[in-house]
Structure 1
Amino acid sequence: MYKTDELSQFFQSSKMAAPGRSRKKSAKPFFAGLISGVNSYSDLKKLFLDPEYAYLAAGVLIIIEIVINIIVINKVKYTEIDWIAYMQEVEGVKNGTYDYSQLKGDTGPLVYPGGFVWIYMILYFITSQGKNVLLAQYIFCVLYVVNLALIFRILVKTRKIPPYLYVIMSLTSYRIHSVFVLRLFNDPVAVLLVYAAVNLFLDNHWTLGSLMYSLAVSVKMNILLYSPALLIAYITVLGYKQTFFQLSVCAGFQVLVGLPFLLHHPLNYIIGAFNLGRVFMYKWTVNFRFLPEEVFVNRYFHISLLLLHIVVLAAAARYMWRFLSSYSKLRTMNIPAVAQLLVLPFFLSNFIGVMFARSLHYQFYVWYYHTLPYLAWCSGYRVMTRLLILGVVEMCWNIYPSTVYSSLGLHCCHLVLFYGVLKNMIKQCNSSILTVKDRGE
């Protein structure tokens, strides 16, 4: 059994966790002050600095973001990149072509799994065969707001980051708004779905979460970067028997969304939709501009990145296991911020994958943008250092075209952030909450 007083003391004192008081108890004086029209300085300070009040900032920002996205749609020129190609690819399926090798658009062959086809097929019909781009932009405006609500809900549950950071995260990234409402990429669709899955996992709806996660993978394969943490979560929280069941749910859903293609040309579907050897174009890379092009496209360079990814992931897996094992014991107890023990392994697993990605294109920023503030606040660095890391990362992603210095700067920030997070995780693994089990209490 876990000792509740010891666990509460951990959440009060640890840098990994927010203050261990209940929202009901702490929020009452603040709202009493609002009603009376008199707020003390400490109440106002809490409004900006106390993670306990982050839900207020989140609610206000969602409303503000609706207005901002409408203004962006109406005032900033839409830029065509992949939308027409997406429509051409799904139109081929609509016309009866189920051979992935024959499905193409202006930008090349169809390279996404079946879930992408069916989601964009819906958009194809809603937007008059893709011709009503303005309507598509408003649909992606809705997706942006839903995505923000989902990630805010995760972050609020952790009670980790201060309210002012929600403001910075929401309002400062031109690139993220652009990826959603000015480019209509499929990356934000996949990311929205994975955040929905994490929310379901936090609410203990594991089978629904697995279906949502598999749907996200079927839109774009980068979501597999979360899979190491998800596998550990299955084992530690649900046990091996349920792990097999959840993996079957994920695999079964992939078969279902790809069934028409698997029945007609299975090999072409698997090669086209799950091509791990695809070579990216050097001119679009954000993270490896400092390398010569011949090195960037070299097969041995790709293999080296994969090996480094595996080694670093293995080094972090031990601590992910400890966090998730503790989460499995604490999730039914009334302890504030226990969600941190689930969220950090998920976000870190994805972040490690981004660190060693063969290439990052500008739309890929959405893969991990909303997780960066949380990771920074789990790093153990001083606040100014955390903000500096976030600022430099943002600057690197907004330099177009990328340069030697912007790509090197991005890698440096990634390494510094990873070092801080892993070091802090190791520290937490030696503290009371993660060692109670080892003492048999």
Structure 2
Amino acid sequence: MTQVSIYLSGERNYLNIKGDTGPIVYPSGFLYLYTFLYKLTDGGRDIARAQYIFMLVYLSTLFFIFKIYQTIRAPLYTYFMLIFSKRLHSIYLLRLFNDCWAMLFSYIGVYSYVQNSWILGTLFFGIALGIKMNVLLFFPAIIMILFQILGLRHMLYHFFLIFGIQTLLFIPFISYKKEYISRAFDFSRAFLYEWTVNWKFLSEDVFSSREFSFLLLFIHVLILFIFSSTLWNRISGRSLKELALSLLNTKTLFINKVYKTSFQTQRLIVIILFTSNLIGVLCARSLHYQFYCWFAWSIPYILSQTRIHPFFQFFIWALQEYAWNVYPSTAYSSIIVIMVLISVLFLLLIRC
């Protein structure tokens, strides 16, 4: 709220907008959203009202996740994993992070895609990106889905829409555009070792090294390639090479491929979006406790699609919950975090 008060005082230079947690590192959608909350909660002093608002955000997110699960006919037992997460309850009702809002809009975007509301889905992904940059983890999936279902021309329209949303959010800061971009979309930001949930089994020197950062980027790209060429391309039934070659064909700009998706395609849309996000989480430079809400909603369904026995699905989910509730994180809990993510993605890849 300190950052919001500085913004409300008329400051538009992102370098000068700071708070108790340091300088602002989010796109301006965060400021607009928390300005609204600032006014609703008497400058952040009415904590109880803020918690009620975030309770509504939690319930709204749960509603859209339920709608997604219902549409793709997720097994009934997966719903129990959704509602019994202690860490999610803490993030939404006690911590009041902007991650909660970004993921609400992201999952509305997922639901919109499943319902063939393509423009609406992209609109919500664009809004979510304007609140927090982690939404970019969905973008490899968005590219694969829109290109295979709508074609190149329509895919480009959708990305123009996302760019337009970011431009509109940016306008009040146009006098300090360099400062805004360097803070709001800082890909080189360093993370503190003491707060990492996923890499505590490494030494601080390794964690902070550029070599480790580049290794994670390489692994990220490699896993995206593997999933794109084996699972994500099932929507069109074409190989990744064929899809890539079609990009070079200018005629694809004029092909209209819009059609109503089947149940199987709806299921693939969800799997592609969920796994794209999960791959990004696995290869993240650092995960903090609030980042759990980025992907925890997707784990029950992804586990169900691995087709392992429900007992083992619950066991893996429980391990994940345990690791994310260890505070402060330890080498042991971090190993569990990483191994669960690897196991879920590997099992999905070989069994889905």
State whether residues 389 and 413 of structure 1, in contact with CA within 8 Å, keep that contact through their aligned partners in structure 2.
yes
Partner residue, 2:200: 289
Give deviations 1:22-79, integer Å, cap 9, x for gaps: xxxxxxxxxxxxxxxxxxxxxxxxxxxxxxxxxxxxxxxxxxxxxxxxxxxxxxxxxx
Greater radius of gyration (CA): 1
Distance 1:402 1:336 in 2: 40
Residue aligned with 1:256, SS? helix
Partner residue, 2:2: 88
Give the deviation of 1:389 after TM superposition: 1.1
Distance 1:253 1:217 in 2: 9
Distance 2:231 2:142 in 1: 10
1:136 aligns with 2:64: no
1:169 aligns with 2:82: yes
For residue 411 of structure 1, the aligned residue among 307, 323, 338 is 338
Structure-2-length-normalised TM-score: 0.91
1:307 aligns with 2:235: no
Residue aligned with 1:258, SS? helix
Give deviations 1:143-200, integer Å, cap 9, x for gaps: 110000011100111103x2232123202x1110110111100111100000011111
Structure 2 portions without partners, runs of 5+: 238-255
Give deviations 1:277-315, integer Å, cap 9, x for gaps: 111111111110001111111122111111110111111
Distance 1:243 1:255 in 2: 18
Distance 1:93 1:320 in 2: 45
Change (3 A) 1:121 1:143: same
Residue aligned with 2:298, SS? helix
1:276 aligns with 2:187: yes
Partner residue, 2:243: none
Partner residue, 1:209: 121
For residue 157 of structure 1, the aligned residue among 63, 71, 93 is 71
State whether residues 27 and 132 of structure 2, in contact with CA within 8 Å, keep that contact through their aligned partners in structure 1.
yes
State whether residues 237 and 324 of structure 1, in contact with CA within 8 Å, keep that contact through their aligned partners in structure 2.
yes
For residue 12 of structure 2, the aligned residue among 93, 98, 103 is 98
Partner residue, 1:244: 156
For residue 192 of structure 1, the aligned residue among 94, 104, 107 is 104
For residue 142 of structure 2, the aligned residue among 207, 230, 233 is 230
Partner residue, 1:382: 309
Kindly tell me the number of residue pairs found equivalent between the two proteins.
335
Structure 1 portions without partners, runs of 5+: 1-86, 426-441
State whether residues 396 and 409 of structure 1, in contact with CA within 8 Å, keep that contact through their aligned partners in structure 2.
yes
State whether residues 331 and 338 of structure 1, in contact with CA within 8 Å, keep that contact through their aligned partners in structure 2.
no
Distance 1:390 1:241 in 2: 40
| Mapping 1:423-438, distance limit 5 Å | 423-425=350-352
| Mapping 1:324-363, distance limit 5 Å | 324-325=235-236, 332=260, 336=263, 338-363=265-290
Tell which deviates more after alignment, 291-300 or 367-376: 291-300
Name the % identity.
37
Distance 1:412 1:147 in 2: 27
Residue aligned with 1:207, SS? helix
Q: Which amino acid aligns with 1:361?
A: H
Aligned CA-pair RMSD: 1.8
Distance 1:193 1:224 in 2: 13
Give the deviation of 1:405 after TM superposition: 1.0
Tell which deviates more after alignment, 162-171 or 372-381: 162-171
Distance 1:144 1:119 in 2: 16
Structure-1-length-normalised TM-score: 0.73
Give the deviation of 1:383 after TM superposition: 2.2
